[in-house]
Amino acid sequence: MKSRPFNSFAIFGAMRSGSNLLEKYINQYQDLICHGEIFNPGLIRRAAREDYLGVFRQERLDHPERMLAAILKATPDKIPGFRIFQAHDARMISHALKDRYCAKIILTRNPVDSFTSLKIAAKTNQWMISDAAHRKHAKIHFDLEEYAEYLAERSAYYANIAKALEMSGQPSFEIGYDELNDLDRINQLAAFIGAREVKTALDEPIKRQNPQGLAEKISNFQEVKKALNLSATGTADPLVTLPKKATGTDLSRIYFCKQIPLGFAPVPAVPDGGIRQWQMFHDHNMAKNGFTRQRFDEWKASHPNAVFFSVVQHPVRRAYHVFMQKIFPTAPQGYLAIRQQLESRFGLLLPEGEITPATPRAVLEDSGYGLETHRIAFKQFLVFASGNLAGETDIRQDGKWQLQSEIIRRYRVLHPVAHVFKSEQLQADLSYLENRLGLKPYFGWKDEAEPVFSFALSDIYDAEVEALTQAAYGQDYNEFSYQPWRG
């Protein structure tokens, strides 16, 4: 679990939004487990239970964090999660929204449909069915005043979620009730949480309880239709929505060619200037990024059988470049706040004053910052990176030092990345891609120049640097078959 971006997940939904079915689907992935409504004040997972995982209801009410600790401990080989609604423990709603290591799943359903389903379930006392033959049918009187109160409470709940996510900048995955039987969307959701498995089919252990149209479920349908401006077919307009986001990794990062069916999915901190020049040569246009989900879908439709590729770099080299370009300098392009935190909390000894990645070594040595001090500082950064990627710090996981294999996995949420090339042999790999796509050879390739740093990586590299890098980035070594760095 160490290398995954999340150690838990929360499904923010509402009653009758399809959360039971979503839970059943999630539990079919071997890496994931959903524990249900464990923070519902009125029950503990199920109404007939008084305890769950050794935590009793009253203890859960007094100390909800103990229940969270219990699910985290129960299945260390899985990412655990839970469903949480507006009437559940407010402390845990707040906790989940603030916890950057908790994946947020936002499940929505049209509120008219949810309200109608809720009233039918209450009338029939049938809350879930696994066999359509056991379905109970009923019509309900749709109370408009009661619905107005329901809608206000529900809208406030989702609005608070949206505001919290906007302010924190944390990612989330939004899925609608009507998408729950879309296998691609469920696979994307599972991959967003951290599952490595891709399903080709899912068992459907729960059946829709009320598949009829609203007109067949509401006795005063014409009154409701007029009051709520429903469509002629009885379809309810979506009255509660959240801002639409691309799911998975940043879709906006991918560079798409205009003419040829080719997309380049860059890995942060891996140089890509030469790759984009190569794209422009073949496409006669600058490749574009910043795509929305809609624009991406349109591009895929007009570029069938598109090829995607990404490029990775040796973990030692990439980690050192990030350290030198973002942590070492005090120049504007550096991460000054994180630099200060690493100095005060992780003991990094870094040079003071106006420092750039290329500050002359003699200047640094005159101030008492020499080669050995620099080697130790980089090793301390690697120790920090290992803990940060394991979720042991409250400093954000920046994409520039995140696992490359994790970034590639999240790209695959959007589209299978057919090719992952190594920067160390990129020219030969791009020649292969030219042959596959029937493109003429590009003879203008030049490897990007190595940045000028105060201290070269070869000057400070030793066996301990390699060992610390492998401790932090072992998954990248394994997935991309990297050996110890040779310079």
The 10s digit of each residue's pLDDT in 299-317 is 989 998 899 999 999 999 9
Do residue 280 and residue 220 come from a single domain? no
Residue 3 covered by a domain: no
Q: What is the pLDDT of residue 247?
A: 45
Q: Could you tell me the end-to-end alpha-carbon distance of the chain, in angstroms, rounded to an integer?
A: 31
Q: Looking at residue 425, what DSSP letter applies?
A: G
Q: Which carries the bigger pLDDT value, residue 4 or residue 245? A: 4
When pLDDT is cut at 50, 70 and 90, the band that residue 224 belongs to is: confident
Residue 242 covered by a domain: no
Do residue 411 and residue 474 come from a single domain? yes
Q: Which carries the bigger pLDDT value, residue 44 or residue 194? A: 194
- Averaged over 345-363, what is the pLDDT? 92
Distance, in Å, from the CA atom of 441 to the CA atom of 435, rounded to the nearest integer, reads 8
Q: Looking at residue 324, what DSSP letter applies?
A: I
When pLDDT is cut at 50, 70 and 90, the band that residue 319 belongs to is: very high
Do residue 207 and residue 256 come from a single domain? no
Residue 235 covered by a domain: no
3-state secondary structure of 288: strand
C-alpha distances in angstroms, 91 versus 73, 86, 128, 253, 442? 20, 11, 28, 35, 59
Residue 347 covered by a domain: yes
Distance, in Å, from the CA atom of 59 to the CA atom of 65, rounded to the nearest integer, reads 10
For the chain, percent of residues with pLDDT exceeding 90: 44
Q: What is the pLDDT of residue 136?
A: 54
Q: What is the pLDDT of residue 48?
A: 60
Residue 26 confidence (pLDDT) above 60? yes
Scanning 14-129, the segments in alpha helix (DSSP H) are: 19-26, 57-62, 64-74, 90-98, 111-124
Helix axis angle, 371-389 relative to 336-346, nearest 10°? 100
Domain CATH code at residue 41: 3.40.50
Q: What is the pLDDT of residue 409?
A: 82
Residue 240 covered by a domain: no
Do residue 121 and residue 267 come from a single domain? no
Structure tokens belonging to residue 370: 């020499």
Residue in this structure with the two tokens 């107005």, named with its chain if needed: 148
Do residue 291 and residue 210 come from a single domain? no
Lowest mean pLDDT among 163-177, 179-193, 471-485: 163-177
3-state secondary structure of 131: coil
Do residue 174 and residue 262 come from a single domain? no
The 10s digit of each residue's pLDDT in 92-110 is 999 999 898 899 999 988 8
Q: What is the pLDDT of residue 211?
A: 53
Which domain, by its residues, includes 214? 8-228
Q: What is the pLDDT of residue 129?
A: 43
Q: CB of 68 within 8 A of CB of 92?
A: yes
When pLDDT is cut at 50, 70 and 90, the band that residue 271 belongs to is: very high
Do residue 108 and residue 172 come from a single domain? yes
Residue in this structure with the two tokens 């891996």, named with its chain if needed: 270
Please give the torsion angle defined by the CA atoms of residues 191, 194, 199 and 205, in that order, rounded to the nearest 10 degrees: -110
Do residue 286 and residue 364 come from a single domain? yes
| Residues ≥6 apart with Cβ < 8 Å to 62 | none
Residue 179 confidence (pLDDT) above 70? yes
| Residues ≥6 apart with Cβ < 8 Å to 12 | 84, 85, 93, 96, 104, 105, 106, 107, 158, 161
State residue 309 phi and psi, 5-degree precision. -145, 160
Domain boundary among 199, 228, 257: 228
What's the pTM? 0.58
Residue 230 confidence (pLDDT) above 80? no
Residue 127 confidence (pLDDT) above 60? no
Distance from chain centroid for Cα 126: 35
Domain boundary among 193, 228, 263: 228
Q: Looking at residue 35, what DSSP letter applies?
A: -
Structure tokens belonging to residue 281: 């040569």
Do residue 284 and residue 410 come from a single domain? yes
Do residue 201 and residue 347 come from a single domain? no
When pLDDT is cut at 50, 70 and 90, the band that residue 476 belongs to is: very high
C-alpha distances in angstroms, 284 versus 126, 257, 260, 270, 366? 61, 9, 10, 24, 50
Phi-psi region of 305 (alpha: psi -120 to 50; beta: other; left: phi over 0): left
Do residue 200 and residue 309 come from a single domain? no
Letter for the amino acid at 386?
S
Lowest mean pLDDT among 38-42, 249-253, 288-292, 313-317: 249-253
Q: What is the pLDDT of residue 124?
A: 65
Q: What is the pLDDT of residue 207?
A: 52
* C-beta neighbour count of 370 within 10 angstroms: 13
Domain boundary among 228, 261, 279: 228
Distance, in Å, from the CA atom of 142 to the CA atom of 227, rounded to the nearest integer, reads 11
Residues written for the chain: 487
Nearest to residue 327, comparing CAs of 353, 368, 355? 355
Do residue 256 and residue 190 come from a single domain? no
When pLDDT is cut at 50, 70 and 90, the band that residue 131 belongs to is: very low
Residue 474 confidence (pLDDT) above 50? yes
Q: CB of 407 within 8 A of CB of 267?
A: yes
How many domains does the chain fold into? 2
- Averaged over 128-148, what is the pLDDT? 65
